[in-house]
Amino acid sequence: MKYLLLGVLASLTLAGAALAQDPIFGTWKTEPDDGKYSYIEMKQCGAVICGVAVKSFNESGEYASPVLGKQIVRNMKNDGDGQYSGEAWRPSNDKVYVGKATLNGDTLRMKGCVLGGLICFGQNWTRVN
* Confidence at 112, pLDDT banded by 50, 70, 90: very high
Q: What sign has the CA pseudo-torsion 103, 21, 88, 59?
A: negative
What CATH architecture is 23-127? Answer: Beta Barrel (2.40)
Beta bridge partners, 11, equal none
Question: Residues 82-109, buried b or exposed e (16+ Cβ, 10 A)?
Answer: eebebbbbbbeeeeebbbbbbbeeeebe
In what helix (H) or strand (E) does residue 7 lie, and over which residues does it extend?
helix 2-20
Give the torsion sign (CA, 66, 110, 82, 107): negative
Tell me how long the chain is.
Answer: 129
Q: What is the pLDDT of residues 11-26, one digit of tens each?
A: 444 444 444 589 999 9
User: What is the rounded CA–CA span in Å between residue 18 and residue 30?
Assistant: 26
Q: Are 31 and 125 in contact (CB under 8 A)?
A: yes
109 pLDDT more than 80: yes
- pTM, to two decimals: 0.81
Say yes or no to pLDDT of 1 above 50.
Answer: no
The amino acid at residue 115 is L
Stretch 33-52: mean pLDDT, rounded? 95
Write out pLDDT tens, residues 47-92.
999 999 999 999 999 999 999 999 999 999 999 999 999 999 988 8
